[in-house]
Amino acid sequence: MLQKRMTNLWVALILCIGSVVMLAPFVWTISTSLKDQRNVFEIPPKWIPDPATFKNYVTAWNDSPLLSGFMNSMIIVVFVLVIGIFVSTMAAYAFAKIDFPFKDAIFLSLLGTMMIPFSVVMIPQFIGFSRINWTDTLLPLIVPGLFGNIVVIFFLRQYLAGGLPNELVEAAKLDGSGFFRTFWTIALPVAKPAIAAQAALSFMGIWNDFMGPLIYLSSPQKQTIQVLIASMQSQYMGSSNYPVILAASIISMIPVILVFFFCQRYFIESMAISGLKG
Amino acid sequence: MKKRKPSYIRKEYIWAYLFVAAPVLGFLIFGVAPLLYSAWLSFTSWDLVTPPEFVGFENYVEVFHDEKVYKSLYNTVFMMLGIPIGMVVALLLAIMMNRPLKGISYLRTIYYLPVISPIIAVSLLWQWILNQDFGLLNQTMWSWFGIEGPNWLGDASWIKPSMILMGVWGGVGGTMVLYLAGLQSISSTYYEAAEVDGANAFQKLWLITIPLLTNIHFFVIVMGVIGAFQSFSQIYVLAGDGGPEYSAATVVFYIFENAFKYFNMGYASAVAWVLGVIIFIVTLIQFRLSKKWVYND
């Protein structure tokens, strides 16, 4: 027993040291973002800024259309999450609970899209969207997401196949519930926790996406927060103004960190489940 | 004589098709169509301004003679060294985290934090940490050990290790969670039996834990390789021009440069197809090999 407690003590110690390593870059970033530019290059480095100032956050916010970047990212997230996940749940329900001709073939071809690297389709997609003059709008980032996402469909299908008893669906049918009503009143509530998990994951994916927005959006007012931050880099790094650029990147992290803290349970669960079953 | 299906079943079919219609349409519009278009583009020369010109296999011939293709492919594969490093660290972390310690969920959250953070923010933060003169890393090495650190991002031989370092730090939490889930599914009877046989901790790790997690090792490797082949954003931020001597450019970075900087749409498509085929073949090989080493209950 004593030996076991000693081991636990060592393990806790190692994990704590590790967590310091994991946190140090974040803490250092926050510290730098609160420094006056003159004090940034102090040697040896000071962890606690003296004097501390929020000036860099104000500069970052005012010098660049960060607010519109926030709004643009938010618009994409809301549309894709609400409509895309609803559409995915509908498809997942059909794949999980109804037998219809060519079901497996359709499902497998959808799964096949996961094999296509984005780099292969991004050029034709870009050309297609620019033909219909959708470049420099949010549409190329929203519209494809409205058709559902195969990873979400796959996850929800697995969930419904196991979590929604066939008897329940049959009973609803016998009671005269129509197809859509059965889906709405029985499948949807059952799938709620899985939907929440996928929504949390999708939020991250969309908020953090960079390459898509980078390709499509050129004018600063139309850009998402990630593209804005990346383009601020050239503006401020040239003058070695690290505090402002780091303040901006912290601003961009706030939404994901908030979502993470509120949906933590869903996150780690769905990461583990989709990982194991994927 | 063929019997007609009862009408309620046919009605159900129609509903089911309606329910899957959107993803199928999406698959055709945003998957199949671009794929075919891209295949055609790869046989053309097109700058988006003058009309596309059919050039046959010319692009592909050029791909195989293009030094930058080999270089970016080499860089991409080199940076995959981060996968085994990350796996070892993540497994050790998961084993330690699998103990009933107080406050373990806080620790888990801390290790997971980089996984959810936007890659652009993470890249900028590392740009500052890896700064040669004033970065935290070199400063700390100098003041603690008297070691003069390298020019991480400015030196052709150090930029790839920098990327690996950043990648391991950023990804280890995600892999750890997968391993943790795997560890919790291993029945304790195996360990009890091993203890009866007098196995030590290392033997238990090597002979029970690691083999019983093969499906997770497999998943992590496959997803890691696919992800590494597609890495782009961190390169764009940390080495906007491909890095010193183009030593950080990945294949996707090269495709991006060709398509959206030089507007060589045809050539970029050809490189993208070569990359796609490589990813496909490598994944296929991994699945074939997996039969030899992955256990499935």
CB contact, 8 Å: B41 with chain A? yes
Positive or negative, the CA dihedral B233, B236, B238, B242 is positive
B16, B37, B112: residue with CB nearest A98: B16
Q: Of B173, B175, B176, whose CA–CA distance to B114 is shortest? A: B173
Give A32's contacts in chain B (Cβ within 8 Å): 128
- b/e sequence B264-295, b meaning 16+ C-beta within 10 Å: bbbbbbbbbbbbbebbeeebeeeeeebeeebe
Searching chain A, which residue's CA lies closest to the CA of residue B181? A272
Q: What is the pLDDT of residues A105-149, one digit of tens each?
A: 999 999 988 888 999 999 999 999 999 999 999 999 999 999 999
Is B109's CB within 8 Å of A8's CB? no
CB contact, 8 Å: A223 with chain B? no
Q: Of B244, B220, B231, B224, whose CA–CA distance to B158 is shortest? A: B244
A119, A127, A246: residue with CB nearest B275: A119
Searching chain A, which residue's CA lies closest to the CA of residue B21? A91
Closest-CA distance, B62 to chain A, in angstroms, reads 18
Chain B, residues 79-138, CB within 8 A of chain A, namely 93, 96-97, 99, 101-102, 107-114, 116-121, 124-129, 133-134, 136
User: What pLDDT score does B262 carry?
Assistant: 94
User: What pLDDT score does B22 carry?
Assistant: 96
User: What pLDDT score does B201 carry?
Assistant: 86
Closest-CA distance, B71 to chain A, in angstroms, reads 18
Low-confidence residues in chain B, pLDDT < 50:
1
A11, A25, A260: residue with CB nearest B129: A25
Q: Of B51, B28, B54, whose CA–CA distance to B39 is shortest? A: B54
Longest dimension (CA), chain A: 77
The pair of structure tokens assigned to B108 is 């888990």
Is B26's CB within 8 Å of A118's CB? no
Is B121's CB within 8 Å of A250's CB? yes
Is B31's CB within 8 Å of A26's CB? no
CB contact, 8 Å: B232 with chain A? yes
Which SS3 state, helix, strand or coil, does residue A120 take? helix
DSSP state of B51: P
User: What pLDDT score does B105 carry?
Assistant: 84
User: What pLDDT score does A265 carry?
Assistant: 76
Alpha-carbon gap, residue B40 to A217, rounded angstroms: 26
Alpha-carbon gap, residue B255 to B260, rounded angstroms: 8
Closest-CA distance, A192 to chain B, in angstroms, reads 18
Which SS3 state, helix, strand or coil, does residue A239 take? coil
CB contact, 8 Å: A185 with chain B? no
Is A150's CB within 8 Å of B23's CB? yes
pTM recorded for the entire structure: 0.92
Q: Give every CB contact of residue B121 below 8 A, 6+ residues apart in sequence.
A: A229, A249, A250, A252, A253
Give A183's contacts in chain B (Cβ within 8 Å): 19
> How far apart are the two ends of chain B, measured CA to CA in Å?
45
The yes-or-no verdict on residue A272 having pLDDT over 70 is no
Task: Give the number of residues written for chain B.
Answer: 297
- A242-262 helix and A66-79 helix, angle to the nearest 10 degrees: 30
Closest-CA distance, A133 to chain B, in angstroms, reads 14
Alpha-carbon gap, residue A246 to B123, rounded angstroms: 10
B12, B181, B259: residue with CB nearest A275: B181
Q: Write the ipTM.
A: 0.90
Is A94's CB within 8 Å of B99's CB? no
Searching chain B, which residue's CA lies closest to the CA of residue A117? B276
The yes-or-no verdict on residue A276 having pLDDT over 60 is no
A27 — pLDDT class (breaks 50, 70, 90): very high
Alpha-carbon gap, residue A165 to B244, rounded angstroms: 59
User: What pLDDT score does B3 carry?
Assistant: 60
Give A45's contacts in chain B (Cβ within 8 Å): 134, 136, 139-140
CB contact, 8 Å: A152 with chain B? no
The yes-or-no verdict on residue A277 having pLDDT over 50 is no
Which residue reads 């609400």 in tokens?
Answer: A82
Is A271's CB within 8 Å of B177's CB? yes
User: What pLDDT score does A275 carry?
Assistant: 54
